[in-house]
Structure 1
């Protein structure tokens, strides 16, 4: 077991002044590691793979708040719709519509974060601003058609770089866009409040730039083994 409970407490102490939430990213890690953080008080866990998430959810405590943080294919939404709390990477109108459709089958409301592409790398997912506006306009035109999803905020991933100025800039721009979207589309909605930015390497910068939710894995769980993924 390579978990780092000391790092966990240090992260929590840094999040506290910002009242930000910690999503402990447990992808590729065994159930026993999740149980150890659960015993330490952690309740929000994030996963990237649908099959792994469904397997863990079935055997772990029912009060865990599961977040799906990876790229999600529309045809796999049905597997996590019965229990997932938040889906971070909603990067298309098609995906939002499918989440709503599947959540309706269980009379649930799933929280969704709209993923915006802010990094220099083209390999990262996310909508550009035009795609984001088109999705929001469709939603605003007929919100009743989306009664089983709750657009709770936005998500982004910064460029994988040691250039802190660039990371600050990317997070800052997303925070500004977040504010603009809230004013235009969700000004009277208390639930549009989450800005999911920041991971193990850059979460202190993300907190400075308005993050309300950080996704931290390797810092807590140790390096990952993707050999079986």
Structure 2
């Protein structure tokens, strides 16, 4: 099936209120344009340099989401245009985003990344780190960032019960955070292999790459 057919099939399955982020990392501009011409406007990248190169030449009404682990020294390259940063996992990173956003007179939307998987390799905050961050004076003083929700990744496993449990845990954290940050609305969880489970557990944003564009090309 073509990129357009894959995209339209996935979109037809998604309930109202769930945003599709087409994960275009490692994909050429031609593939992104094919998805764009089929109506997709939200694309996710995990490397800042690659995202900048695509932003420079592709249509300007594309919303670029940074979905990978982000190093502080890379924030300045995308602060001018990035729409949403998914993987914010420290106060230090948030402060850098705030500083760079200020230079461009922007408010950058961010998701706080929670660690819900059993694997140690996944980044993210735990519950106590989240509480500490949102109650810190430094966080309250930032004017150029806006926390709009949470993001998390489930363990890479065939055990659907475990995936359900991890996504349900993140939804529970999201619901309780709403009392502290009533403006949050985005729960970014679910990728090509588990997005249906994520939606069942309350996801409002799914990050799908290989099911749209085919297998990744790392060469």
TM-score, normalised to structure 1, is 0.93
C-alpha distance in 1, partners of 2:75/2:43? 18
- 8 Å CA contact retained: 2:3, 2:35: no
| Shift in Å, 1:23 | 0.3
Which of 177, 184, 187 is the equivalent residue of 1:181? 177
Residue aligned with 2:168, SS: helix
Q: For residue 102 of structure 2, what is the aligned residue in structure 1?
A: 104
C-alpha distance in 1, partners of 2:16/2:118? 27
Q: Which runs of 5 or more structure 1 residues have no equivalent in the other structure?
A: none
Deviations 1:41-96 (A, max 9, x none): 00000000011000000000010000000000001000000000100000000001
Residue aligned with 1:96, SS: helix
Which of 181, 186, 199 is the equivalent residue of 1:194? 186
Q: Which runs of 5 or more structure 2 residues have no equivalent in the other structure?
A: none
| Shift in Å, 1:207 | 0.4
CA-based RMSD: 1.3
C-alpha distance in 2, partners of 1:77/1:199? 24
| Shift in Å, 1:108 | 0.4
Which of 137, 143, 164 is the equivalent residue of 1:147? 143
C-alpha distance in 1, partners of 2:160/2:16? 20
Q: For residue 120 of structure 1, what is the aligned residue in structure 2?
A: 118
Q: For residue 226 of structure 1, what is the aligned residue in structure 2?
A: 218
Change (3 A) 1:222 1:142: closer
- 8 Å CA contact retained: 1:23, 1:46: yes
Q: For residue 7 of structure 2, what is the aligned residue in structure 1?
A: 8
Which of 38, 43, 46 is the equivalent residue of 1:45? 43
| Shift in Å, 1:14 | 1.6
Pairing of 1:162-173 with structure 2 (within 5 A): 162-173=158-169
Pairing of 1:69-88 with structure 2 (within 5 A): 69-88=67-86
Residue aligned with 1:201, SS: coil
| Shift in Å, 1:11 | 1.2
Runs of 4+ in 1 over 6 A off after TM superposition: none
| Shift in Å, 1:7 | 2.1
TM-score, normalised to structure 2, is 0.97
**Number of equivalent positions:** 219
Change (3 A) 1:146 1:4: same
Pairing of 1:57-68 with structure 2 (within 5 A): 57-68=55-66
Q: For residue 196 of structure 2, what is the aligned residue in structure 1?
A: 204
Residue aligned with 2:81, SS: coil
C-alpha distance in 2, partners of 1:77/1:3? 34
